[in-house]
Structures are given as structure tokens and as C-alpha cells.
């Protein structure tokens, strides 16, 4: 048989961690602290089923045909209105509907990143963003947003864009304070670089009212409707249901146009049925009504995970208790712990974690783990953490 053409080289640079923790959900008895999954009990199944059947019956043209590339006009208008406020005015031209936040990251790669381009990225960096941009082989400038000597203008000069998850970052669960948000926005205006604000966890504040979005801070320095440098990414995945695969980009109209051209080649349009369901879930108040129950469930799970960590991991790791989101980031006290190895040992002990290497563009950080607290009930979180303590001791003994 003749030799088949080789796969593209970037495939050699990937990792199998996402596939491992998605598969971990199906291994009997394994406790999956590795993913970023919502609890399945929060989905309002009968209500969403009702919205789906009404959507098809009443809006066949919108739900069963291709939609306009940028999205159904009613959903674009709804998002524009929902995110407009005292400081910012948005119109439909500021909004692109995407197939999840993941697609928005991919389209930004296609639109802004040429081979070898520079990206200034909050470090550690969301694995899905790294995965999306990997085929372009960008060069990363890490932005440590809690460092005292942070100089955003220096990091952003000459970069195609800066990327940050200011609300409860994936992977660290950290909240970026208002002063730092403002300094990133100022640097974007001063340097002319785009600033991506990726915000899947923006509604998941457990202890305090939300901090201002960088989009809103930037609007104070831009014209209305919004034409500034912030590219805001939203999604229904963490508040409604990830299976809908609905996300949105809010940005200057020139950016929405460019991304729409990229989207045309990617998938022509996002499912009209899912767009209509999302529209109706917001318009009827269903999505907002669900939020208090989600917050109370996830707050108790955050508390349960942190209590179990206090009980079992105090001698092994350092961590900060997050005030929102889905994750705790724990860093080994002993530098010889290799968390890539720990992931494998953890699977043998019946617990799955995400190792820090996959959130580092260079793959070198091997000292931390990301732990999810939203997916499992409190008793399972406690068992998972005691298994992690055992696995860590075993991995350290083997190092």
C-alpha cells in the first residue's frame, strides 16, 4: 500500500488530558475532579424540552433552516440589550453568535493569528484556548496578573492580542481585581492591541457582587455603539446547559464582520434550534430564575471541597479558597512532585485531576493541579480528596 500523507505537525504537540477527563466520567467508581463540568441536576429538563418543541412548532424557518452566519437577529438583539448598560451601548452589529465559547476562541485564532504571532496570555492559560491556537504555532508572552511588577503595556506591545479570564480563571479559579482589569484596558487602548475577555464564569460569584467587566471599563474610552479593543466572550455552558453549544462574541463591528467571515468557512451558522431555545430561555426568565439554585449548590460544594482539602491536603499543597467559578488550584509544597505522574497515580487510586502542564504553553509547569468542585456531590468530593492525598504520598515516594 502506498504511504499515506502525514498528519499536520501540530498534532504531535497536543496532549490527551481533555480526552482523559471526559472519559473519566464514564469509568465506574472513579471520582472525576479533573473536568470543568456542571452538575447535571441543575438542568431544567421539562422546561427546556417545552421550549424546544415550541421553538420547532412556532419558528420552523428559524430553527430548521440555516440561520444568518452571525446568528438569529432576535438572539443578537437580546444579547446586545442584556449587555448594554449605563456605560455601554451595544447593537446587533456588536454581536456574533457562536457554537460555544470554544468556537469563538477558534475563530479568533483564524482571524488574528498568523504562524508565529505573539499572544500575551494570562498564565496559567485555559487549555481550550491553547488547543485552539496550537495549529498556528503562536509565541506566548505569559501575563502573571497578580504579580507586583505586572506591566501590561510592555507585554501587549507587538502582540496580536492579550487573553484573560478575569472572573475565576480556568485553571486557577482566581479573580482579577478591578485595578488590574483597568490597567489591562488602559494598555489595550494605549497600544492598540485587542484584549480578549473570556467570561464563562462571570455569573458564578458566591460571596460578593460582581466586579466590572473589562468591556464596560473600556466603553468609557470608546464611542457608542461600542467600537473599542475588548473582545468579550460569553456562553450558556455554565449557567444553562453546555450541550446547547451557544456562545457569543461582543466586539467592535469590524471585528464581528471579520469573525463572521471566518465562521462562514467553519460551520456556516450555529444551530438555529439551539439559538431559538437560548433566546426563549433568556426572554422567559428561565435562565435567570435558575441562577440562585446553581449558586447555592456550587457554593456548598466549594465549601465541601475546601473543608476536605483542609482536612487531608494541608501538609502537601498550598491553595487559595476561590470566591466563585468551578476550580481550586493547588500547588505542591514539595517541588519534586510531578503532577503529570500524579495524574496517572491518581487514576490508579480512583481519582482524576488535571495537571498544570496542560495549562502552560511550554508544558513545563509540573507542580500544580486543578480541582473541580461543581460536578460531584459533597461526599464524593471528600472521598476524592482523601484519595488524592494517598495518591500524592505514593507519587512523592516514587519521585
Ligand X SMILES: Cc1ncc(COP(=O)(O)O)c(C=O)c1O
Closest CB to ligand X belongs to which residue?
100
How big is the site for ligand X, counted in residues (CB under 6 A)?
A: 14
Closest separation in Å from C-beta 104 to ligand X: 8
Q: Within 10 A of 2 (CB to CB), how many other CB atoms are there?
A: 4
Indicate the residue among 63 and 237 with the shorter CB distance to ligand X: 237
Q: Which of residues 272-331 bind ligand X (CB under 6 A)?
A: none
Selected from 34, 38, 71, 100, the binder of ligand X by CB under 6 A is: 100
CA distance 199 to 101: 9
15-51 exposure pattern, b = at least 16 Cβ within 10 A, e = fewer: eebbebbeebeeeeebbbbbbbbbeeebebeeebeeb
Per-residue contact track with ligand X, 108 to 137, x per CB under 6 A?
Answer: ------------------x-x---------
| Position 165 contacts ligand X (CB under 6 A) | yes
Indicate the residue among 84 and 237 with the shorter CB distance to ligand X: 237
CA-wise closest residue to 38 among 285, 384, 298: 298
Q: Within 10 A of 225 (CB to CB), how many other CB atoms are there?
A: 17
| Position 180 contacts ligand X (CB under 6 A) | no
Closest separation in Å from C-beta 336 to ligand X: 30
Nine-digit cell string for 268: 456556516
Q: How would DSSP label each residue in 90-114?
A: --GGGEEEESHHHHHHHHHHHHH--
- Cis, peptide link before residue 124, omega less than 30° from 0: yes
Q: Which of residues 32-61 bind ligand X (CB under 6 A)?
A: 36
1-9, 95-103, 137-145, 343-351 -> range binding ligand X (CB under 6 A): 95-103
Selected from 62, 198, 280, 360, the binder of ligand X by CB under 6 A is: 198
- 106 and 113 in contact (C-beta within 8 Å)? no
Closest separation in Å from C-beta 235 to ligand X: 3
Tell me the C-alpha to C-alpha distance, in Å, between residue 119 and each of 67, 182, 295, 363. Answer: 32, 19, 33, 16
CA-wise closest residue to 214 among 222, 225, 224: 222
Indicate the residue among 59 and 245 with the shorter CB distance to ligand X: 245
Selected from 33, 69, 70, 102, the binder of ligand X by CB under 6 A is: 102
Selected from 101, 124, 202, 229, the binder of ligand X by CB under 6 A is: 101
Closest separation in Å from C-beta 42 to ligand X: 15
DSSP conformational letter for 346: H
319-331 exposure pattern, b = at least 16 Cβ within 10 A, e = fewer: beebbbbbbbbbb
Closest separation in Å from C-beta 131 to ligand X: 11
Closest separation in Å from C-beta 233 to ligand X: 7
Selected from 32, 235, 357, 368, the binder of ligand X by CB under 6 A is: 235
97-105, 107-115, 146-154, 360-368 -> range binding ligand X (CB under 6 A): 97-105
**Cβ-based neighbours of 307, under 8 Å, separated by 6 or more:** 382
Closest separation in Å from C-beta 100 to ligand X: 3
Closest separation in Å from C-beta 99 to ligand X: 8
Q: Which of residues 332-391 bind ligand X (CB under 6 A)?
A: none
Characterize the bridge pairing of strands 368-372 and 354-355. antiparallel
Please report, as ranges, the residues that interact with ligand X according to CB under 6 A. 36, 100-102, 126, 128, 165, 170, 198, 200, 235, 237, 242, 247
Amino acid at each position: 500500500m502506498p504511504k499515506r500523507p502525514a498528519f499536520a505537525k501540530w498534532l504531535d504537540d497536543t496532549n490527551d488530558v481533555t480526552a482523559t477527563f471526559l472519559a473519566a466520567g464514564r469509568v465506574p467508581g472513579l471520582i472525576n475532579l479533573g473536568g470543568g463540568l456542571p452538575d447535571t441536576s441543575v438542568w431544567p429538563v421539562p422546561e427546556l424540552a417545552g421550549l424546544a418543541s415550541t421553538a420547532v412548532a412556532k419558528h420552523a424557518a428559524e430553527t430548521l433552516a440555516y440561520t444568518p452566519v452571525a446568528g438569529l437577529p432576535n438572539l443578537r438583539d437580546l444579547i446586545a440589550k442584556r449587555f448594554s448598560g449605563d456605560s455601554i451601548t451595544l447593537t446587533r452589529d456588536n454581536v456574533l453568535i457562536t457554537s460555544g465559547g470554544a468556537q469563538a476562541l477558534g475563530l479568533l485564532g483564524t482571524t488574528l493569528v498568523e504562524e508565529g504571532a505573539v499572544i500575551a496570555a494570562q498564565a496559567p492559560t485555559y487549555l481550550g484556548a491553547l488547543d485552539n491556537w496550537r495549529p498556528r504555532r503562536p509565541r506566548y508572552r505569559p501575563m502573571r496578573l497578580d504579580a507586583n511588577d505586572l506591566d501590561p503595556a510592555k507585554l501587549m506591545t507587538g502582540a496580536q492580542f492579550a487573553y484573560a479570564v478575569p472572573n475565576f480563571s480556568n485553571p486557577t479559579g482566581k479573580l482579577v481585581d478591578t485595578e488590574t482589569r483597568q490597567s489591562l484596558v488602559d494598555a489595550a487602548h494605549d497600544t492598540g492591541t485587542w484584549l480578549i475577555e473570556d467570561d464563562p464564569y462571570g455569573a458564578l460569584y458566591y460571596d460578593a457582587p460582581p466586579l466590572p467587566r473589562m468591556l464596560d471599563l473600556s466603553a468609557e474610552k470608546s464611542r457608542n455603539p461600542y467600537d473599542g479593543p475588548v473582545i468579550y466572550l460569553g456562553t450558556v455552558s455554565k449557567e444553562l446547559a453546555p450541550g446547547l453549544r451557544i456562545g457569543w462574541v461582543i466586539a467592535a463591528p469590524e471585528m464581528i464582520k471579520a469573525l463572521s467571515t471566518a465562521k462562514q468557512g467553519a460551520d456556516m451558522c450555529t444551530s438555529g434550534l439551539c439559538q431559538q431555545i437560548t433566546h426563549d430561555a433568556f426572554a422567559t426568565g428561565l435562565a435567570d430564575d435558575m441562577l440562585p439554585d446553581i449558586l447555592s449548590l456550587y457554593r456548598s460544594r466549594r465549601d465541601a471541597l475546601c473543608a476536605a482539602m483542609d482536612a487531608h491536603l494541608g501538609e502537601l499543597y498550598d491553595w487559595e479558597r476561590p470566591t466563585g467559578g468551578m476550580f481550586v488550584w493547588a500547588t505542591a509544597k514539595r517541588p519534586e512532585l510531578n503532577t503529570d505522574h500524579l495524574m496517572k497515580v491518581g487514576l490508579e487510586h480512583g481519582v482524576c485531576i488535571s495537571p498544570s502542564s496542560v495549562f502552560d504553553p511550554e508544558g513545563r509547569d509540573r507542580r500544580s493541579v486543578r480541582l473541580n468542585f461543581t460536578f460531584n456531590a459533597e461526599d464524593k468530593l471528600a472521598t476524592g480528596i482523601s484519595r488524592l492525598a494517598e495518591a500524592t504520598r505514593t507519587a512523592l515516594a516514587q519521585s
